[in-house]
Amino acid sequence: MKKTFFIIFFICIHVSSIFSQLEFKIYELRISRIIVMTDTVYVESMPFGPRIEVSCKINNNTDLPIILNLYDCEVSVLFNYQNEKFEYLIGSIMDYYSWRDNKWGNEDKSIMVLPDKNYELFFTISYLEGADFVKTKRLPIIDCTREVIETLPTLRVRYKDTNIDIITSEIKNIIIDNFIYNLDKNQGK
């Protein structure tokens, strides 16, 4: 019994040390549409609020390859607002890759990341969309400056699949694009 316990304990320690050597960082976060203006009628399905384009990398600093199960993963954006934690679930990153890069097909359900290599994830979302504190804002001007200032320092990305559950540790670079976005002039952009 002691031998079995020791073996299980050793395996758990070994596995946790492998994943503690993974590094997950946001390398670039591009934020736009902090203020949205429009003269058109309010439509419930339109995405109001700030849009973020995120580029993050999972760095494998271990001696072993890691497997990312891209079809069976969940990617989410985490942030705090007024001492409350929020999680915006994106779902499988494969939907975003298929659309963005058009190079991932059905045959690539998992990706192997070799030692000392990294894997880059990209996605674009309106991260405050649907939050109660944004729903209360009304057109013609939706100003989320205060919300962005409070949420951005706490923003993190979480990647979770059957093997890995990891949250970004930092944001390296933030770029602000189209601070004021006119929906009427930029329809569809």
3-state secondary structure of 126: coil
pLDDT tens digits along 96-136 = 554 444 344 445 578 889 999 998 888 888 888 766 666 56
Is residue 157 in some structural domain? yes
Q: What is the model's pLDDT at position 35?
A: 82
User: Which residues pair with residue 58 across a beta bridge?
Assistant: 24, 119
Query: Does residue 12 carry a pLDDT above 90?
Result: no
Residue 162 belongs to domain spanning: 23-182
The total number of structural domains in the chain stands at: 1
Between 165 and 138, the higher pLDDT residue: 165
Q: What is the model's pLDDT at position 19?
A: 46
Q: What is the model's pLDDT at position 100?
A: 46
Is residue 108 in some structural domain? yes
Is residue 8 in some structural domain? no
Query: Does residue 80 carry a pLDDT above 80?
Result: yes
Is residue 173 in some structural domain? yes
Is residue 146 in some structural domain? yes
Is residue 85 in some structural domain? yes
| Percent of the chain with pLDDT strictly greater than 70 | 67
Between 49 and 11, the higher pLDDT residue: 49
Angle at 182 between CA 95 and CA 134, to 5 degrees: 65
pLDDT tens digits along 29-74 = 999 888 877 776 555 555 567 889 999 999 999 999 999 888 788 8
Q: How many CB atoms lie within 10 A of CB 43?
A: 9
CA distance 125 to 86: 15
Q: What is the model's pLDDT at position 42?
A: 54
Is residue 187 in some structural domain? no
Round the average pLDDT of the chain to a whole number and report it.
77
Is residue 147 in some structural domain? yes
Q: What is the model's pLDDT at position 126?
A: 85
**What CATH number is associated with residue 60?**
2.60.40
Q: Write the CA distances from 18 to 12, 15, 66, 85, 167, integer angstroms.
A: 10, 5, 9, 28, 15
CA distance 145 to 6: 54
Name the token pair of 55: 């580029």
Task: Indicate if the alpha-carbon torsion angle 63, 13, 155, 44 is positive or negative.
Answer: positive
